[in-house]
Amino acid sequence: MLKCNFCGRALSNIVADLGMSPLSNAYLRADQLLLMEPFYPLAAYVCEGCFLVQVPPVETPEHIFSDYAYFSSYSESWLRHAENYCNAMIERFGFDASKQVVEIASNDGYLLQYFHARGIPVLGVEPAANVAERAREKSIPTLVKFFGTETAKEMVRDGVRADLLLGNNVLAHVPDVNDFVEGLRVLLNERGVITMEFPHLLRLMAGNQFDTIYHEHFSYFSFFAVEKIFAAHGLRMFDVDELPTHGGSLRIYAEHASGDREVSPRVDALRKSEADFGVDSLQTYSAFSEQVQATKRRLLDFLIDARWKGKTVAGYGAPAKGNTLLNYCGIRTDLLSYTVDRSPHKAGLFLPGTHIPIHTPEKVREKKPDFLLILPWNLKDEIIGQMSDVRDWGGKFVVAIPAVEVIA
């Protein structure tokens, strides 16, 4: 029996069933294309007790994250977001050389580098050794560990306590959310601040962003659910920001339950907007799957029609969300010849499941496709700017989320 990752209640209510899919970051080399490739059920459930939306684990975190293909520093807009965050935290909370900043899932040092440049002590915790090595090359000290209660206790024994404890897009990747949040409590200094960023479930559903559902994302949070989880571990929310990143994210601010920071009016405002949306009603979730299926049909209609008309379609990007979309829709090289990506860690590989080849962006300029399907739709403005010369030969851009749209 499937049980809720937080409260342990039995899970039976499906939010979206996306069929069978490989791990979304399990990119393939050419010599692996004829080997057996594992596919797993991909369905998101909602707990009728705490309303946490979740995907049951099918693989261990060690298998998924120990060698990772995602490097944050290849997105210019994400780097700007990280630098702006650093400046805002220093201005608001007065962090200086006497304070300790710790980032969980610190990737290649994309964010901590900005605190480091301001003379503030930093420490990253990153499970992927290949990614952590890039951070160390930037002089960002990084522990190669999975974070949880035991890791937090080890860090405290080694004299580490966090004045700012942050995690961007890691909370959703945690299979044992109770162990993770308890670790945050253990590591946080008495007057410390926690910030966590994650895609907002309300925006996911309102924006039809079902492609952000994949096996590496174990949980999908409303403020309603995440506040319950943090409170259960002695942590209180005192502020929240609604961000445009990843199609709509939350940045939550938390402290120890004994803290006395004033609670921002944004907290009550968000509670109300979520209640109005119906995040605590099963009926809200049952309606979501219908729009997911409609998006699949519309994207296939577009691609098939383009083929019948002799048009060529290429992809831009090789993100995890793109792999969810392509595998759910059953799209292979007969409809999408290839995709391109700026990351040298992906170029030359093949997308999991679909076996669509990944090239460098120069391939687009060489082949001049009629349409360029942007798979990381949350970065569409950045990508259209980088690839503006597509218009020189009459090419057009396409996004599939929240609905199929051609951008001339």
Two domains, one topology: 63-197+222-255 and 300-407:
yes
Q: What pLDDT, on the 0 to 100 scale, is given for residue 329? A: 97
Task: Look at residues 185, 177, 271 and name the one whose alpha carbon lies nearest to residue 229.
Answer: 177
What are the residues facing 40 on neighbouring strands?
21
Which CATH architecture describes the domain 300-407? Answer: 3-Layer(aba) Sandwich (3.40)
CB burial readout 20-51, b (16+ within 10 A) else e: ebbbbbbbbeeeeeeeeeeeeebbbbbbeebb
Q: What pLDDT, on the 0 to 100 scale, is given for residue 402? A: 92
Q: What pLDDT, on the 0 to 100 scale, is given for residue 105? A: 94
Q: What pLDDT, on the 0 to 100 scale, is given for residue 293? A: 93
Q: What pLDDT, on the 0 to 100 scale, is given for residue 274? A: 98
Strand segments, DSSP code E, in 228-349 are 235-243, 249-256, 313-316, 339-340
State the Cα–Cα distance between residues 110 and 75, nearest whole angstrom.
Answer: 10
Task: Look at residues 132, 134, 92, 139 and name the one whose alpha carbon lies nearest to residue 114.
Answer: 139
User: In order along the chain (408 residues), what is the average pLDDT of each group of 10 residues?
Assistant: 95 96 94 96 97 90 59 77 97 97 95 97 94 93 96 98 97 95 98 97 95 93 98 98 93 98 98 97 90 94 98 97 97 97 93 98 97 96 96 97 94
Q: Are 249 and 203 in contact (CB under 8 A)?
A: yes
Residue with tokens 């710790």, as numbered in its chain:
102
CA distances from 120 to 174, 196, 266 (A): 28, 19, 29
Helix axis angle, 223-232 to 265-277, nearest 10° = 120
As to burial, measured by CB atoms within 10 angstroms (0-12 exposed, 13-18 middle, 19+ buried), residue 158 is exposed
Cα dihedral 176, 255, 165, 200 sign: positive
CATH for the stretch 63-197+222-255 = 3.40.50.150
pLDDT tens digits, one per residue of 224-256: 999 999 999 999 999 999 999 888 999 999 999
Q: What pLDDT, on the 0 to 100 scale, is given for residue 64? A: 62
Domain extents in the chain = 63-197+222-255, 300-407
Longest CA span, the chain: 66
